Every structure is written in C-alpha cells, then in structure tokens.
Amino acid sequence: MFVGFVGLGNMGAAMASRLVGAGHRVRVWNRSVGPMEKLMGQGAEAAGSLPELAEAEIVLSMLANDEAVRETFLRQGLLAALRPGTVHANMATVSVSLAREMAGLHRERGVSYVSSPVLGRPDAAAAGKLNIMAAGSADAIAVVQPLLDVLGKTWRFGENAEQANAAKIATNLTLACAIEAMCEAAQLAGSFGVSPVALLGMLTETAFASPAYKLYAPLIAREPTSPAGFSAALGLKDVNLALAAGEAARVPLPFASVLRDAFLESVAHGEADLEWASALARASRRRSGASGSPAGVLTPPEP
C-alpha cells in the first residue's frame, strides 16, 4: 500500500521503518530532516512538502501531542490536502476531545479518521509487537488493518474514534498506578530494612509477573543509569489526559489526582526528564525524608 507517515520521533521512526521493511511504499515527513534521511536510507520516500503526503491512500500520524496534531493537520493544512476517501489513522496518545474534534473535521472533508494508539516502546514497534487499540468505522479500520498487522496486534474498542483514545489513556493510567504502587510498597518495606530489589523481585515473579511490572521494578529498586524511555514530563502529560477525559465524562479519578501531584512535584524538583518510574520512586523517598539510594537503604546486589 501507499502510506504517508508523519511524525518520526523514536516511535514513529521505528514504525515507519517496520512498514518499509514489510514492503509498503512509505512516504515520510518530519519537522526536522534527520529522521527523514535515515528512513530514506531504508527505502522510504521523503515528501517534498507536508501536503505531498496526501497523495498516499492512507496517512498514519505519530505526533507528540494534541498541539502537534492541530499544527500539522489544521494550521499547516494536511487535512485540507487529503482527498475524500483517504483514511487517516492517528496512532499517538492524544486527548479524547481532540479525537472527537478531529473525527468531525475529517468527516466534513469525506476523510475517515481512525484512532489507533499503541502500547509498547520503540523496540516493540521495530519487532512488530505493539498492541494497538483501534476505534473508528469498521470500513476504515479494514483499510488500515494490513498496516496495523505489520506493527502488532489490534484490539478493537468501538465505532467512535475517541473510544480507542479512552482505552489508551486508561491503559497509561493503569501503568502509572502500577508504578506508584510499587514505589509505595518498596518505600514501606524498605523502611523496615527489606531490600526493594528482593521485594519487587518476589512480586514480579509471583502475583505481578507481567511485562509492565517486570519493566518498571528495576527502575524503582535501583537508580537509573540510562536516558529516560518515558519521562516524568510525559507521565504528567498522560495523567492530565486521564484527568481531562475524566472531567469530560464526570468520572472522579482519585489515584490520577495523586499521580498528578507526584509528577508535578518531580517537575518542581528538576526531574522532568527523569524516567517516570524513577521520578515517582524519588518522590516517594523524598516524602519519607530519605534520599540517596533507592528506598533510603543500601540495595544489595541481586543474588
């Protein structure tokens, strides 16, 4: 298929690359040139300008946030350039209200709008192992399904695009809650001299033996050594998406309120760029008057 792809951050680039590798014709566009050149080296076409993406049958977007979607599709005119019958699948984590608004604006132009945000990090994208939450008209999803199948497994959440966003936002909230729960548990047990490594090790081999817990436990029990895969600033953004969706639907979310304050405290302490799990762990330690190594106790090496 002939695919236009806009938004070549870490995730977008990995996804576009995967589509190229699967033999699709992929025309890419990005605000900065570097990522485009890299994709060209893998066989992608570079659009000469943003509107040239509109020549594709399908446009996939993986832009940073609501504002970037508005900038690209509305102010810079990509939506206006799309021909009736085109399908646009927005794969980023954006707000429910943006999804609703975009679905309406696309409909007016005869363009189908599909929300298909993804769960997974760039390595999962590169391996075609993303989990994709899709919502939109069945016909439009059927059009993009071959592309989604290259990227991972699709989970359907309804006929209204915003439903996939609600599912994705709820998923990210669940992730953030799991992290905070581990932080509180580690800090509590650690204050009695229990090694966070030992506690979280047990949890992630028993009741919580799942990818999410296994991914984040080490970031909580030990100080991070590598750049953030997902930062506290992005955590704050995601929690705000949950709170905004909750407010629109009149759903109080007390855990989300706690998380908002915790991420805000992280940002206030200059830790906006820290891995979100590490940031919550530090906030937990800070509240307890501890500092230095995780949970305020020396964490012994794992046996």
Instruction: Please list the alpha-helical segments (H only) found in the chain.
Output: 10-21, 34-41, 66-69, 78-81, 96-108, 122-126, 138-151, 161-190, 196-203, 211-221, 232-249, 254-268, 276-287
- Rounded to a whole number of angstroms, the minimum distance from the CB of residue 285 to a copy of itself is 9
Q: Which is nearer to a copy of itself, 107 or 287 (CB)?
A: 287
The sign one gets for the Cα dihedral 200, 204, 208, 213 is positive
CB of 2 to a copy of itself, least distance (A): 30
Choose between 72 and 154: whose C-beta lies nearer to a copy of itself: 154
Residue 111 Cβ vs a copy of itself, minimum distance, rounded to whole Å: 22
- Indicate the burial class of 240 (C-beta count within 10 angstroms; 0-12, 13-18, 19 or more): middle
Beta carbon of residue 162, minimum distance to a copy of itself (angstroms, whole number): 6
Q: Could you tell me the smallest distance in angstroms from the CB atom of residue 81 to a copy of itself?
A: 27
Other beta carbons within 10 angstroms of residue 279's beta carbon come to: 29
Cα(127)–Cα(208) distance, rounded to whole angstroms? 25
Catalytic residue numbers?
A: 168
Q: Give whichever of 20 and 185 is closer to a copy of itself, judged by the CB atom.
A: 185
Rank residues 57 and 265 by Cβ distance to a copy of itself and give the closer one: 265
Count CB-CB contacts under 10 A for residue 18.
Answer: 22
What is the C-alpha to C-alpha distance for residues 153 and 129, in angstroms, rounded to an integer? Answer: 7
Cα distance between residue 17 and residue 27, in whole Å: 11
Nearer to a copy of itself, 30 or 231 (CB): 231
At CA 132, angle to CA 67 and CA 82, rounded to 5?
50
59 vs 56: CA distance, rounded Å: 7
Distance, CA of 295 to CA of 278 (rounded, Å) = 11
